[in-house]
């Protein structure tokens, strides 16, 4: 299917083309026709599935222009407000539509000035309610969108939202998007939506096939070494490393910095200004590696993240999906890499089941393997480099004292030293060992199931903890027989 089938106006097709969108995502495919027909709608789809365009495109298609604020989008945070308004601006500008962003912490006057010029406003609930209640603005939008509704309720914005709707016209078209559908969301939907249609993108459709998912089995004490080796080997463009706790983020940031990487930590409790600054330097490539907790990375939208690393397994499948969705965006390919300890293998199975995808087990490359790959790259680079006159002069000077082959050896040693791979040769478990552990986990699961009949629900925890010691022993015992697949 292509975007042509929606019969959008020419200016909009132009914008879609400029954005580089080739085909509609599942939520766009399902939601756009419903919205164009004028229905209220409730949409459930994960982050990164293209919800902004799913509501933005049909709304812009139906907007007339020249009548003040025609569309209002409410989002939970200032950062999301900026992201969403950037995206809507892209779609609207070819049709001459203006977008304004409304959030707290900035002066009222300039914001109000912009709102008065705008056709689309993207607002956070607090400031918007403030402006409406104090009658600093009156708006009469035909289209109202509640984006990331579950997040807004989590942040305690329910009262503000209800209050905002008392200022909005009754004959509006209302759309609500949420990643999850808890009961309060359904109740709110009944209050603000009018016979809504619903669009649900199931888990299977959600998993982005542009993301390759892999896992590596390592002992806990090997995580740092494993991470460095993998970064060395994969040479990511931009990457995000996820940790479970802030404490871990801090420790890992200092460690990676000490190893010469350009890293930045992203905290949930960072000040907004600082957070935006950090994200901007990541987008601009001044920082190559982001180290973050789940909370801190919510909604983070950077297009060219090539790799996501799970330093630790995430707590649940939802956060796994959210984490890996930070890569493979906007049609790019991405790789999601999870480090697991032997006793976490069955969590991998559970995640695979929940997200409807396979995680490929791989072996961490040895120092030798990384080194020879880097040497290959280097040879390629040398053969492709253009000789400069000053280089010719330099070799001439050297030739007075040293023969030409020795000069070549010296130069090669110099460049090789710069790309030397550090760390121990073998990190983590080999393929054979991993297969053995997976097999054992399966058998254990069967046994657990039989034993659990009279024991209630606590079995899986006890079971997995009990096995971890065995896993460790087999790892060191099988060191010599490690079987490499690549």
Q: How far is it, in rounded angstroms, from Cα 364 to Cα 191?
A: 53
What does 124 interact with, of ligand ADP, Mg ion, none (CB < 5 to 8 A by kind)?
none
Selected binder of ligand ADP within 30, 70, 160, 301 (CB under 6 A):
301
Residue 166: CA count within 13 A, CB half-sphere: 9
What does 24 interact with, of ligand ADP, Mg ion, none (CB < 5 to 8 A by kind)?
ligand ADP
Under rule CB under 6 A, residue 181 binds ligand ADP: no
Q: How far is it, in rounded angstroms, from Cα 229 to Cα 235?
A: 10
- Whichever of 68 and 95 has its CB closer to ligand ADP, that residue is 95
Under rule CB under 6 A, residue 477 binds ligand ADP: no
Cα three-residue angle 250-255-257, rounded to 5 degrees: 95
Local structure of 337: helix, strand or coil = strand
- Whichever of 28 and 366 has its CB closer to ligand ADP, that residue is 28
Q: Bridge-partner residues for 112, per DSSP?
A: none
How many other β-carbons are positioned within 10 Å of the β-carbon of residue 357? 22
Under rule CB under 5 A, residue 326 binds Mg ion: no
What is the contact mask toward Mg ion in residues 173 to 202, using x (rule: CB under 5 A)?
------------------------------
Under rule CB under 5 A, residue 29 binds Mg ion: no
Selected binder of ligand ADP within 12, 25, 97, 176 (CB under 6 A):
25
Q: Of 316-355, which residues contact ligand ADP (CB under 6 A)?
A: 329-331
Answer yes or no: are the C-beta atoms of 364 and 218 closer than 8 Å. Answer: yes
Q: Of 79-98, which residues contact ligand ADP (CB under 6 A)?
A: 87
Report, in Å, the least distance between residue 80 CB and ligand ADP: 9
Report, in Å, the least distance between residue 27 CB and ligand ADP: 7
- For 340: left if phi > 0, alpha if psi spans -120 to 50, otherwise beta; the answer is beta
- Whichever of 51 and 323 has its CB closer to Mg ion, that residue is 51
218-238 b/e (C-beta count within 10 Å ≥ 16 → b): bbeebbbbbbbbbbbbbebeb
- Whichever of 53 and 241 has its CB closer to Mg ion, that residue is 53
Under rule CB under 5 A, residue 51 binds Mg ion: yes
- Whichever of 76 and 430 has its CB closer to Mg ion, that residue is 76
Selected binder of ligand ADP within 6, 21, 103, 242 (CB under 6 A):
21
Under rule CB under 5 A, residue 172 binds Mg ion: no
Burial class (CB in 10 A: 0-12, 13-18, 19+), 281: middle
Question: Which residues neighbour 217 within 8 Å (Cβ) at sequence distance 6 or greater?
Answer: 340, 341, 342, 345, 361, 428, 429, 433, 434, 437
Q: How far is it, in rounded angstroms, from Cα 111 to Cα 128?
A: 11
Q: In the block, which residue shows the tokens 């993240």? A: 305
What does 49 interact with, of Mg ion, ligand ADP, none (CB < 5 to 8 A by kind)?
ligand ADP
DSSP code per residue over 61-118: HH--SSSS--EEEE-SSHHHHHHHHHHHHHHHGGGT--EEEE-TTS-HHHHHHHHHH-
- Whichever of 90 and 349 has its CB closer to ligand ADP, that residue is 90
What does 30 interact with, of Mg ion, ligand ADP, none (CB < 5 to 8 A by kind)?
none
- Whichever of 51 and 322 has its CB closer to Mg ion, that residue is 51
- Whichever of 87 and 222 has its CB closer to ligand ADP, that residue is 87
Q: Kindly compute the dihedral angle of the four CA atoms of residues 328, 149, 112, 15, in this order, to the nearest 10 degrees.
A: 40
Under rule CB under 6 A, residue 47 binds ligand ADP: yes
What is the contact surface with Mg ion in residues (CB under 5 A)? 51
What is the contact surface with ligand ADP in residues (CB under 6 A)? 21, 24-25, 28, 45, 47-53, 87, 301, 303, 329-331
């Amino acid at each position: 299917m292509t975007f042509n089938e929606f019969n959008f106006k020419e200016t909009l097709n132009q914008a879609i083309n400029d954005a580089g969108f080739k085909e509609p995502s599942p939520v766009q495919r399902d939601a756009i026709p419903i919205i164009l027909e004028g229905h209220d709608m409730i949409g459930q789809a994960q982050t990164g599935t293209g919800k902004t365009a799913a509501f933005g495109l049909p709304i812009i298609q139906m907007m007339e222009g020249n009548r003040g604020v025609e569309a209002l989008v409410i989002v939970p945070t200032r950062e999301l407000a900026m992201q969403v308004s950037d995206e809507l601006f892209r779609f609207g500008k070819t049709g001459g539509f203006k977008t304004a962003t409304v959030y707290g912490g900035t002066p009222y006057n300039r914001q109000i000035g912009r709102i008065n010029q705008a056709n689309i406003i993207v607002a956070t609930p607090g400031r918007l309610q403030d402006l409406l209640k104090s009658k600093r603005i009156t708006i009469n939008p035909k289209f109202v969108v509640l984006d990331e509704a579950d997040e807004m309720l989590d942040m305690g914005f329910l009262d503000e939202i209800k209050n905002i709707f008392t200022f909005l016209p009754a004959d509006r078209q209302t759309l609500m998007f949420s990643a999850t559908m808890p009961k309060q969301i359904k109740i709110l939907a009944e209050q603000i939506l009018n016979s809504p249609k619903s669009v649900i993108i199931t888990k299977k459709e959600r998993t982005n096939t542009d993301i390759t998912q892999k896992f590596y089995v390592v002992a806990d004490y090997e995580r740092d070494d494993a991470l460095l080796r993998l970064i060395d080997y994969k040479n990511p463009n931009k990457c995000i490393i996820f940790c479970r706790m802030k404490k871990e983020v801090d420790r890992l940031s200092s460690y990676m910095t000490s190893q010469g990487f350009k890293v930045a930590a992203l905290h949930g409790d960072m000040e907004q200004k600082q957070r935006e600054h950090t994200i901007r330097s990541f987008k601009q490539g001044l920082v190559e590696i982001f180290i973050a907790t789940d909370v801190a990375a919510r909604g983070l939208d950077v297009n060219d993240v090539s790799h996501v690393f799970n330093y630790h397994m995430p707590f649940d499948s939802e956060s796994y999906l959210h984490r890996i969705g930070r890569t493979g965006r906007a049609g790019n390919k991405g790789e999601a890499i999870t480090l697991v300890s032997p006793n976490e293998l069955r969590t991998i199975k559970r995640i695979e089941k929940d997200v409807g995808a396979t995680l490929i087990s791989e072996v961490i490359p040895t120092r030798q393997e990384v080194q020879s790959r880097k040497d290959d790259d280097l040879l390629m680079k040398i053969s492709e480099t253009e000789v400069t006159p000053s280089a010719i002069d330099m070799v001439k000077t050297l030739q007075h004292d040293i023969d030409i082959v020795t000069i070549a050896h010296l130069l090669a040693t110099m460049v090789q030293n710069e790309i030397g791979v550090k760390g121990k040769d073998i990190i983590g478990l080999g393929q054979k060992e991993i297969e053995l552990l997976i097999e054992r986990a399966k058998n254990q699961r069967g046994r657990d199931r039989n034993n659990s009949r009279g024991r209630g629900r606590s079995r899986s925890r006890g079971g997995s903890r009990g096995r971890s010691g065995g896993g460790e022993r087999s790892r060191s015992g099988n060191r010599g027989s490690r079987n490499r697949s690549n």
